[in-house]
């Protein structure tokens, strides 16, 4: 083959690639960008890896596949303690629910306590029966609270089975309504 033929064979695929890329740029033709890690609705929730009240280390990302309520609270926080019955109610109501696309519901509690004994007593007193209770006992300097920009508690984030934040700042009946949107049957 001569140089002109080789050049033509190289240029034709390049032109085809350029034309196809312009086709992808048409409005509506581009796929939606992948969610970014962040704390806004639609973002992938930042992972949390922290020691649990039982001494084990737990990772939020290990709960992928489930609807998860991330609940920031503390034993010394009156509004948090008054909100705990609603969280317990959600845990009991949705623990065995069938979800549209998720494989269950879990609560991942992050305590902003600095006193282990006070934290443990509050978990027991309020009947917080779930497994995932974590804290680094650094109060407002808690690594997870810092990553999520938590400046007041109680604060919550509801994430879907893919780890995407679907709601936040849920309390009382609003918590149940947000979870209900994902339920197939109770």
φ, ψ dihedrals at 45, nearest 5°: -65, 135
Please report, for the chain, the start and end positions of each structural domain, with discontinuous segments joined by +.
Answer: 1-31, 49-185
What's the predicted TM-score (pTM) here?
0.82
pLDDT of residue 7: 45
Low-confidence ranges of the chain (pLDDT < 70): 1-32
pLDDT of residue 135: 98
pLDDT of residue 100: 95
Cis peptide before 154 (omega within 30 of 0): yes
pLDDT of residue 27: 54
Which fold would CATH assign to domain 49-185? Glutaredoxin (3.40.30)
C-beta atoms surrounding 48 within 10 Å:
20
């Amino acid at each position: 083959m001569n140089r002109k033929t080789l050049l033509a064979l190289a240029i034709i695929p390049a032109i085809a690639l350029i034309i196809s890329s312009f086709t992808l740029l048409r409005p509506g033709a581009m796929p939606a960008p992948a969610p970014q890690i962040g704390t806004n609705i639609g973002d992938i929730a930042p992972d949390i890896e922290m020691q649990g009240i039982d001494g084990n280390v737990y990772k939020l990302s290990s709960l992928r596949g489930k609807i998860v309520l991330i609940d920031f609270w503390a034993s010394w926080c009156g509004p948090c303690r008054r909100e705990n019955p609603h969280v317990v109610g959600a845990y009991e109501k949705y623990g065995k629910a069938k979800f549209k696309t998720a494989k269950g519901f879990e609560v991942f509690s992050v305590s902003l306590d600095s006193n282990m004994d006070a934290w443990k007593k509050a978990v027991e007193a309020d009947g917080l029966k779930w497994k995932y209770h974590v804290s680094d006992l650094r109060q407002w300097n808690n690594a997870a609270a810092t990553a999520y920009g938590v400046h007041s508690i109680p604060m919550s984030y509801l994430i879907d089975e893919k780890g995407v934040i679907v709601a936040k700042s849920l309390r009382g009946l609003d918590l149940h309504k947000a979870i209900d949107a994902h339920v197939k049957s109770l």
